[in-house]
Amino acid sequence: MTIRATRRLALAALLIAVSAPVATAQTSPIVMKLGTSTLNDSIHEWAKIFAAHVEKDSGGRIKVEVYPGNQLGTSPRMIEQTQLGSIQGVAGAPEFLSGVNPAFQVLGAPGLFKDLAHTNRVLQDPEFNAAYLNLGSNKGLKGIGLLISGPTLFVSRKPITKLSDFKDLKTRVLSGRLQLAQIRKLGGAPVPMPLGEVLPALQQGALDSVMSCIPVFVALRYYDAAKYLVETNHGLIAGATMISKVWFDKLPPDLQDVIVKAGQKASNDVYQFSVDDVNRGRDAWIKAGGTVTRLEPAEQEQLMKAMAEVGMQETQETPQEKAMYELLRKVAARTAQ
């Protein structure tokens, strides 16, 4: 073999060695595992919209795998995994994040929102959105999206027609301090309980009522045990998406930009789904044999006044909670019209 031929073979081998990793990188996208605690609701829909935006805008360089319905573990477990970077993201109720930073719970503060359109203006307001999504940054979490699950209301085993009917009711709530305080304000007994245990507890009479939102009630068929739904609409059941800061910080700047912008797009895109989901849920509840009522105007006004006091009273324990609640109130007032 001539020297020239030998050099050609060596050059060909070098080109193969260099090009092989590039081809592998092109055909093996970065996998982003995103877990949700719910299924077929606004939070799950947000995750699917986000996945589509990321894959399109990254040119296939990132593939988002969505695991709904606690497939990756309970909400607290998914939050821990996201902090450690063993999964890349989690979407669920912000109350589960209160162990990371108690200021996360302020979105559950009642008595601040006029309707769903006003609620969405507050959540997507640049000032509030940026401050809230940054709450977990020193604990390994980067926030990328806020959304509406639905207005807060109640289902119960017996009809609720006036505020005094809440007295002594055992009501399931999320474990956040603000949720507990709302039930106590009404004279009831708040009962934090895993979601999977709620329906049997209603059936057995261990619970009298549940505070959450219509899509949750319908998805879990609570109408089989507690058919009375009262639309108090006094607060917000929200969704928040957090991703692993460890994972995010290792991405190249252009892909970081894709992730952030996809979160913003998904948060805007999912709004109409959230509204429709609430309306569909109301219709489905009635079709399944449930009833839907509202308090009389004077009772509703009294409820909202009492609930507004809860937010002020329960967000004073830490400076960060207090500051975040004051910002929420300020933005809610500014965007009310």
pLDDT value of residue 2: 52
pLDDT value of residue 282: 97
* Structural domains of the chain in order of their starting residue, each with its CATH number: 28-334 (3.40.190.170)
pLDDT tens per residue across span 172-187: 998 888 999 999 999 9
Which of the two residues, 8 and 327, has the higher pLDDT score?
Answer: 327
Flag whether pLDDT at 13 surpasses 50.
no
Flag whether pLDDT at 141 surpasses 90.
yes
Q: Which residues have CB under 8 Å from 118's CB, separation 6+? A: 332, 335, 336
Which of the two residues, 26 and 252, has the higher pLDDT score?
Answer: 252
Flag whether pLDDT at 19 surpasses 80.
no
Strands 30-36 and 62-67 come out as parallel
Mean pLDDT, rounded, of the chain: 92
Other C-beta atoms closer than 10 Å to the C-beta of 192 total: 12
Flag whether pLDDT at 67 surpasses 90.
yes
pLDDT tens per residue across span 292-311: 999 999 999 999 999 989 99
Flag whether pLDDT at 22 surpasses 70.
no
pLDDT value of residue 146: 98
Q: Supply the pTM of this predicted model.
A: 0.88
pLDDT value of residue 337: 83
Contact indicator for 126, 92 with CB cutoff of 8 Å: no
Flag whether pLDDT at 160 surpasses 90.
yes
Fill in the DSSP letter of residue 195: G
Place of tokens 């998904």: 266
Place of tokens 């607060």: 235
Structure tokens at 109: 């503060």
- Looking at the chain, the whole-number percentage of residues with pLDDT higher than 70 is 92
Structure tokens at 242: 């957090």
Contact indicator for 323, 101 with CB cutoff of 8 Å: no
Burial of residue 115, with CB atoms counted within 10 A of its CB: 0-12 exposed, 13-18 middle, 19 or more buried: exposed
Mean pLDDT, residues 90-105: 94
Q: Which residues have CB under 8 Å from 333's CB, separation 6+? A: none
Most confident of 2-6, 156-160, 333-337: 156-160
Which of the two residues, 320 and 3, has the higher pLDDT score?
Answer: 320
Mean pLDDT, residues 143-154: 97
User: How far is Cα 133 from Cα 143, in angstroms, rounded to an integer?
Assistant: 4
Mean pLDDT, residues 263-267: 98
Flag whether pLDDT at 147 surpasses 70.
yes
Nearest partner of 34 among 77, 82, 96, judged by Cα: 82
Mean pLDDT, residues 83-98: 96
Maximum Cα–Cα distance for the chain, whole Å?
100
Q: Which pLDDT band, with edges at 50, 70 and 90, does 5 fall under? A: very low
